Amino acid sequence: MSGTFVGMPAFPEAAREAVADRTLRGNLRHATHTIRAKREKAVAEVSDWAELREAGRRIKDHTLRHLDRYLVQLEESVTAAGGTVHWAADAAEANRIVARLVAETGESEVVKVKSMATQEIGLNEALEAEGVRAYETDLAELIVQLGKDRPSHILVPAIHRNRGEIRDVFRREMGAWGRPAPEGLTDTPAELAEAARLHLREKFLRARVGISGANFMIAETGTLVVVESEGNGRMCLTLPETLISVVGIEKILPTWRDLEVFLQTLPRSSTAERMNPYTSMWTGTTDEDGPRAFHLVLLDNGRTDTLADEVGRQALRCIRCSACLNVCPVYERAGGHAYGSVYPGPIGAILSPQLRGTASGIDASLPYASSLCGACYEVCPVAIDIPEVLVRLRERVVEGGPVVRDGNRVVLRPAKGHAAERAAMRAARWAFARPGALRAGQRLASRTRRLHPRTLPGPGRAWSATRDLPAVPAEPFRDWWRRTRGGEEAE
């Protein structure tokens, strides 16, 4: 079933399949390399990128530091502007609120703007259970929905599909959802975009309820901002009579002026454009322009738990640009599905185990889904030190310790399945604290070196299945140093 991640295998197993899928590897490589080069160019155009990045980091940190105050201010501003604010502690509560709001309109279908928050809470499935059909209107979301697929990228959920695959999905599935694909549809991107335009237009024109997320919410004014490209966002935000926006509580910015930072950094980091084609800003409701009713659902769903960790809370700065995915060598090879979450890639590897906890196999494996190369941190427009948070979460997995889950402080036990590793780490620490023990080990290795195999059985296969073992030298350096006094005496 689309949209669900329950029972996902842990990252290494899921990644193994992806690595072996040549089409997928090719699609991801092509897409990520295309956008990487463009992003670099778009960022290089701005001479004060480092200052914008730093200001973005500070604005977000300040907001998180005073999040309670800004949430209350936002609520007041939105209410004063004619909107209604709802609070949802978790996914189930958010879904209940939205389902009730839709039911009150008497409608049985809604149009949706691409939104990570509603994906995160599984809103479409929850509405389906209430007899409401939710139509995704973003091109990539449409491809995923029609293909009964799962999203694999924050910005471009169908990045794992190439144009030929997209054409096949459109031809096969569009008819069941509404207007069928045009006869003789080819795989040129322009024709595919045209097919989506025709298919969705009838839905936009008759829609009475729109559902969105938001990129930013301004506490001081109550303004919401949606950044998009296609115009489907504008359709959903302005044509229906009722608009429901589900937004994570961390999306707040204190002031209108703060947009001057993020409207410069987000488009360049995300689609590598100077500015995205369309940005919509609205404050409550406006007489005779756009929806008559506006509901804002403020979503926690693990965000306050994340906020409680002094290292991990920086993940809440994220503006969902996806630059970290596009530059990540692991994402490029493992693909988005392996991360078992609507948040894939490096940011997903630090967000999912914090929002959902580390109890499941997939969530406990995500902090290890990185070589800690740091490319993600380098491109992040709000300077999230993703490697630092990954290591922090690895610690949580192997050492356990105090965390906050669902608002309650609990003490995690060290995860099972790391016993052998923990023993090895302790043994290594013991030996490394005693140079004599290290030397004895080195000598034993050197003396037996002719007996060492080139490949290893059991867990050692993880190395030797694809790599030879390094040869052990005749003597370790420290023996040479002692024997020759640092090379001063003959060898």
Partner 1 sequence: MRVALFLTCVNDTLYPDTGRAVVRLLTRLGVEVDFPMAQTCCGQAHYNTGYRHEAEPLAQHFADVFGGYEAIVTPSGSCGAMVRELYPRLGERARAEGRGGSLAATLAPVVPKTYELTEFLVDVLGVTDVGAYYPRKVTYHPTCHGLRSLGLGDRPRRLLAAVRGLELVELPGAEECCGFGGTFALKNPDVSAAMGADKVRNAVSTGADALCAADNSCLMHIGSTMARLRTGMRPVHIAEILASTEEVPAV
Partner 2 sequence: MSTRERILGRVRRALADVAPDDTPYERAVERAYAREHGRLDAVAAAGLLAGNLADYRARVHRCAEDGLPAVVGRLLAGRGARTVLVPDGLDPAWLADSDARRVPDLAASTPAELDRVDSVVTGCAVAIAETGTIVLDGGPGQGRRRITLVPDHHVCVVRVPDQVVTSVPLALERLDPTRPSTWISGPSATSDIELDRVEGVHGPRTLDVVLVGRPPGGGPR
**Interface residues with partner 1 (CB under 8 A)?**
11-12, 15-16, 19-20, 25, 310-311, 329-330, 333-334, 367-375, 377-378, 388, 391, 393-399, 421-422, 425-426, 428-429, 431-435, 438, 442, 445, 459, 461-463, 465-470, 472-473, 475-478, 480-482, 486-487
Cβ contacts of 251 within 8 Å, gap of 6 or more: 214, 215, 216, 217
Q: Which helix (H) or strand (E) holds 299?
A: strand 293-299
273 makes contact with partner 2 (CB under 8 A): yes
Structure tokens at 270: 């995300």
Give the one entry of partner 1, partner 2, none that residue 283 binds, where binding means its C-beta sits below a cut-off of 5 to 8 angstroms depending on kind. partner 2
Least gap, CB of 35 to partner 2 (angstroms) = 5
Please report, as residue ranges, which positions from 330 to 369 form the binding site for partner 2 (by CB under 8 A): none
Cβ contacts of 84 within 8 Å, gap of 6 or more: 78, 293, 294, 295, 296
The residue among 206 and 434 lying less far from partner 1, judged by its C-beta, is 434
Q: CA-to-CA distance for 124 and 134, rounded, in angstroms?
A: 6
How far is C-alpha 255 from the geometric centre of its chain's CA atoms? 26
Q: Which residue has the tokens 């999912």?
A: 352
Q: CA-to-CA distance for 472 and 181, rounded, in angstroms?
A: 63
Give, in order, the Cα–Cα distances in Å from 97 to each of 71, 91, 168, 304: 19, 10, 37, 20
Least gap, CB of 144 to partner 1 (angstroms) = 23
Which 3 state secondary structure label does DSSP give 73? helix
The residue among 275 and 440 lying less far from partner 2, judged by its C-beta, is 275
34 makes contact with partner 2 (CB under 8 A): yes
Contact criterion met (CB below 8 Å) for 171 and 196: no
Q: Which helix (H) or strand (E) holds 479?
A: helix 477-484
Please report, as residue ranges, which positions from 227 to 246 form the binding site for partner 2 (by CB under 8 A): 229-232, 234-235, 237-239
Least gap, CB of 135 to partner 2 (angstroms) = 13
297 has which bridge partners?
86, 246
The residue among 163 and 333 lying less far from partner 2, judged by its C-beta, is 163
Q: Please pick, from the candidates 118, 215, 276, 370, the single residue that binds partner 2 as defined by CB under 8 A.
A: 276
Choose one: 16-24, 126-134, 187-195, 481-489; the region binding partner 2 (CB under 8 A).
Answer: 187-195
260 makes contact with partner 2 (CB under 8 A): yes
The string of DSSP letters for 361-394 reads HHHHHGGGS-----HHHHH-TT---HHHHHHHHH
Give the one entry of partner 1, partner 2, none that residue 456 binds, where binding means its C-beta sits below a cut-off of 5 to 8 angstroms depending on kind. none
Give the one entry of partner 1, partner 2, none that residue 466 binds, where binding means its C-beta sits below a cut-off of 5 to 8 angstroms depending on kind. partner 1
Contact criterion met (CB below 8 Å) for 383 and 342: no
Q: Please pick, from the candidates 115, 118, 212, 271, the single residue that binds partner 2 as defined by CB under 8 A.
A: 271
The string of DSSP letters for 393-434 reads HHHHHHH-EEEEETTEEEEEPPPTT-HHHHHHHHHHHHHHT-
Which 3 state secondary structure label does DSSP give 347? helix
Give the one entry of partner 2, partner 1, none that residue 156 binds, where binding means its C-beta sits below a cut-off of 5 to 8 angstroms depending on kind. partner 2
Mask: binding to partner 2, 282-301, rule CB under 8 A, as x and -?
xx--x-xxx-------x-x-
Least gap, CB of 108 to partner 2 (angstroms) = 19
325 makes contact with partner 2 (CB under 8 A): no
Contact criterion met (CB below 8 Å) for 276 and 270: yes
The residue among 50 and 462 lying less far from partner 2, judged by its C-beta, is 50
The residue among 124 and 223 lying less far from partner 2, judged by its C-beta, is 223
Least gap, CB of 375 to partner 2 (angstroms) = 17
Please report, as residue ranges, which positions from 36 to 55 form the binding site for partner 2 (by CB under 8 A): 46-48, 51-52, 54-55
315 makes contact with partner 2 (CB under 8 A): no
Please report, as residue ranges, which positions from 375 to 414 form the binding site for partner 2 (by CB under 8 A): 404, 407
